[in-house]
Amino acid sequence: MSYLTHLECAHCEATYDPAELHRLCPVCEKPLLARYDLNSLRRAWQRSSLAQRAPGLWRYKEALPVESQAHMFTLGEGGTLLLKATKLGEELGLEQLFVKDEGLNPTGSFKARGLCVAVCRAAELGVDGVVIPSAGNAAGAMCAYAARASLPAHVVMPRDVPAPFLLECKSFGAEITLVEGTIADCGRRAGQIAQASGWFDLSTLKEPYRVEGKKTMGYELAEDLAWELPDVIVYPTGGGTGLIGMWKAFDELEALGWIGAERPRMVAVQAEGCAPIVRAFHAGATFASLWEGAETVAAGLRVPAAVGDFLILEALRESQGTALSVAEEELLAGQRSLAQAEGILACPEGGATLAALRTLCRQGWVEPHEQVVLFNTGTGIKYPDTLEAATS
């Protein structure tokens, strides 16, 4: 049983029927968020019940939007490890440093969580096919779950996408369009394809359900730490769905009575060559303006304009967090350090979180006794060029 009640615009608060297909709010063109009857759910669902459930995303099915068990397709997503980074912690003078390794998900990234739920819900609502613009990992995840759900898939990726991502999508039988430019250019083309084909566009935060899959990182992290949230979460931020999702999860968990009112300080990490959220945060802006000439080897951070920019900025400010950018050589060094010190073959975006933490420690922003969680959002094996650069 799903306790989903309605969709609500994150900006103007207009509400919509979740039994119908929706993308952005038709009133203000901002993201829609799924809302649940948390009062009823609090009475019906005790966190002690999780002990009898298998690990993974669907252990939190009551707080997810898919209603039918028949549409809860799975490839084993979620249930990723929270690893104590002992050697890096000692180097940085931190007593409790952890890495949540999302590279252990099916298709090798945290995108599996979001696309699992989005594809499952789209299939439940009767779509004929799915389309997505992606720098790589989201495309692979969508194609895998589309195959699982017997839906045709079309992906639009930058022409310079690393070869492993392209081969992955081909293996799942997807139709592929390559375009010149960034994810923003891919998004425009994907929209055109969706309109022409009648297939559903699963662009980041332009539909309500990818964020629901991503929020399970927040549920899982709370459970990993015995329902006590960490002091600091350091998160690589492109479109920011994971950060937004976790912030939503913490509010839901408090409403369920599973955690208290305390929140981690959220840290958004971007690359110096594409840092619209960092710029907007330090300027005190509500929205982030387009970043011209976006360039970074961390493809997941090459997002010149995020649809959920205002939600990311709200979470950072409400949590008394911060935003910072790192240089290319720093994120590559972080990628190398995670591998050599902790045995975690991180993606470059994951390397960026360690680079950012080094800066925060030097600044005294993080104190030695604080519990810090870095998110590695994907496996480094799909980034042969950055692995070569990181080890040269």
pLDDT tens, residue by residue, 41-65: 999 999 999 999 999 999 999 999 9
In a domain, 146, yes or no: no
Residue pair 294/273 in contact by the 8 Å Cβ criterion: yes
pLDDT band at 136 (very low <50, low <70, confident <90, very high): confident
* Amino acid identity, position 381: I
Mean pLDDT of 279-289: 98
Mean pLDDT of 98-118: 97
pLDDT in tens, 250-261: 999 999 999 999
pLDDT of residue 330: 97
Res. 107: pLDDT tops 70: yes
In whole angstroms, give the CA distance from residue 232 to residue 255: 21
In whole angstroms, give the CA distance from residue 368 to residue 13: 41
pLDDT of residue 20: 96
Candidate from 218-232, 313-327, 376-390 with smallest mean pLDDT? 376-390
In a domain, 151, yes or no: no
In whole angstroms, give the CA distance from residue 346 to residue 340: 11
Q: Which token pair is 89?
A: 């912690």
Res. 177: pLDDT tops 80: yes
Res. 117: pLDDT tops 90: yes
In a domain, 94, yes or no: yes
Res. 1: pLDDT tops 80: no
In whole angstroms, give the CA distance from residue 348 to residue 330: 10
Res. 392: pLDDT tops 80: no
Structural domain for 221, as ranges: 82-108+210-391
In whole angstroms, give the CA distance from residue 269 to residue 341: 21
* Domain total in the chain: 1
In a domain, 166, yes or no: no
DSSP per residue, 243-255:
HHHHHHHHHHHHH
In whole angstroms, give the CA distance from residue 117 to residue 58: 9
pLDDT band at 2 (very low <50, low <70, confident <90, very high): confident
Torsion angles phi and psi, residue 279, rounded to 5: -60, -45
Using the CB atoms, write b or e for 289-304: b if 16+ within 10 Å: eebeebebbbbbbbbb
pLDDT in tens, 313-357: 999 999 999 999 999 999 999 999 999 999 999 999 999 999 999
Give me Rg for the CA atoms of the chain. 19
Exposed / middle / buried, residue 65 (Cβ in 10 Å: 0-12, 13-18, 19+):
buried
Q: What is the CATH number of the domain that holds 256?
A: 3.40.50.1100
Q: Which token pair is 30?
A: 């901002």
In a domain, 307, yes or no: yes
Q: Are strands 232-236 and 265-271 parallel, antiparallel or unpaired?
A: parallel
In a domain, 354, yes or no: yes
Residue pair 183/134 in contact by the 8 Å Cβ criterion: yes
Question: Helices (DSSP H) in the chain: which residue ranges?
Answer: 38-44, 86-92, 111-124, 137-148, 163-171, 183-197, 210-224, 241-256, 276-283, 309-318, 328-342, 348-363, 384-391
pLDDT of residue 116: 98
- Which residues are paired to 190 by β-bridges? none
User: Considering the chain, what percentage of its residues have pLDDT values greater than 90?
Assistant: 92
In whole angstroms, give the CA distance from residue 82 to residue 226: 12
In a domain, 120, yes or no: no
pLDDT band at 169 (very low <50, low <70, confident <90, very high): very high
In a domain, 174, yes or no: no
